[in-house]
Amino acid sequence: MSSGDLSKLKKLNIASKVVAAGRPSKKPDGELNPPIALNSTYHAGGEIGYGRYGNETWSALEEAISLLEEAQHSILFSSGLAAIAAVFEILPEGAALTSPHDGYQGTMELLRQHHKSGRLNVNFLDFTKTDEVIAALNKTQMLYLESPTNPALEVIDLPKIIAAAKKAGCGVVVDNTFATSINQKPLTFGADIVMHSVTKYIAGHSDVLLGSLSTNDSALHRRLLDRRRYGGAIAGPVEAWIALRGVRTFVLRMERAQANAMELAKRLSKHPKVSRVRYPGLPTDPFHNLAKSFMKGFGAVISFEVNGTKEKIDKVCEASELITYSTSLGGVESLWERRRRWATESHSIPENLIRFSVGIEDVDDLWADIEQALKQVN
């Protein structure tokens, strides 16, 4: 099935969409995969015009992301943070924006800078207190959400908050990187924009930096497209092609990583050196019932707190052999780190919290590595 059959592609299940999306139209001896379009200059008279305005390889990946998110439009950016920055740039000077009090530290730092400069008036709230968030809607122009949050893994009641925001005439943007489109589709709840760090689960192999924005609003799409066009945060065509190849195994990777995460969360919750496990898939997690009410799965990130000093916990991360001590997430390989090692991480995150991006390795090998690393804590 080719990209010319979009109406048919939309009817497929997601496991088939990831394989079929972004393909060239079928013709005798035609390519199965889109080419890498290494062009900055185009003959006049067409739709692209110039290399900063469009690229055939971008378009193939954008089509795939749109199919996954059930969006009319998607725009590729040079990184996830570039995509986030473009969202904030479409707001007028002094606009009121409401955001969770903790989340991805890059977003939080950018919002703090905008608030300090007066560019935006940012209200940081605890989004797990749904009624308080809804009560604040009459004072804001945009809600910027992520759920589950990074790295606290708090689940926000997206359907309820988004419905209330739309009723109040408030724009809604959701960072869907952690949950992925496999587990939730915020546009179907009424969100205006969905953001992805494509670097993470969509590409899936820790070898590209990319971001995306998806929307069903054509006017909003044009405004965001202008931010890429005139802001210059364009993606490389090679990176776009690599990410599209990663899309083909997206569902398989997530199925394995989520199964591993569930099993490891259960084992960690019984370990004597672990004081708390944060994973919404656990029935004992405070967000389990809420997550189960609208998510199809619980993701592949676990956050857990270890009894010990931050120095000891850094040694735990350094001692791993199979698990890589590194920042980032969403690749086939397992990664972990103590998040408060970053100066910009929210101080509401405990010093002893390890964020663990679970990969697709053998679950027993991962557990053996965790057990030997935890021996660093006396």
Catalytic residues: 52, 104, 175, 200
The one-character DSSP state at 323 is S
* Residue 30 CB neighbour total at 10 angstroms: 10
C-alpha distance from residue 256 to each of 160, 252, 362 (Å)? 30, 6, 9
**Three-state secondary structure call for residue 43:** coil
Find where tokens 């689940």 sit. Answer: 155
Q: What angle do CA 336, 61, 161 make, to 5 degrees?
A: 65
**Three-state secondary structure call for residue 116:** helix
Short-list 356, 354, 355, 360, CA closest to 333: 360
How many CA atoms lie within 13 Å of 98's alpha carbon, on the beta-carbon side? 22
The whole-angstrom separation of Cα 187 and Cα 179 is: 13
**Three-state secondary structure call for residue 183:** helix
